Amino acid sequence: MTHVEIFTDGACKGNPGPGGWGALLRKGKNEKEMSGHEPDTTNNRMEMTAVIRALNALTRPCEIDLYSDSKYVIDGITKWVAGWQKKGWVNASKKPVRNADLWHDLIEAAAPHKIEWHWVKGHNGHTENERVDRLASSAAEEAAAG
């Protein structure tokens, strides 16, 4: 299996508000940057979208080290999703899980791969996290500008 490193981030100008996402995919010395934006969204949705878009960009199953500064994404996929699935997509408060549409998309995008999920502290000098933060922030600014 091919090994890929993925770094992702999301940004929002207001929450909700115009948002952007960024991702960096690295296979050996080859790198690909990706980004995009939405006019009205939340930071959590942009964090999730970055991961989904990055995973969907892969053309075959891979071994992945995926890095995100979003506890929501990392804890969601590694700790909470299984319980939500068992409980019919309701949370501990018996309310519908927020962003269930994207959680379904993330589960599907992750399925073919072997993924190690890594949380990194944001805005802490992590080179790749700072890079994808700039991609996401620039995309959010594009969305805000219309």
Hey, which residues are catalytic here? 9-10, 47, 69, 123, 133
Ramachandran category for residue 113: left, alpha or beta (phi over 0 → left; psi -120 to 50 → alpha): beta
Shortest CA distance to 121 belongs to which of 86, 80, 54, 74?
Answer: 74
Is the previous residue joined to 61 through a cis bond, with omega within 30 degrees of 0?
Answer: no
- CA-CA-CA-CA torsion sign (16, 108, 117, 4): negative
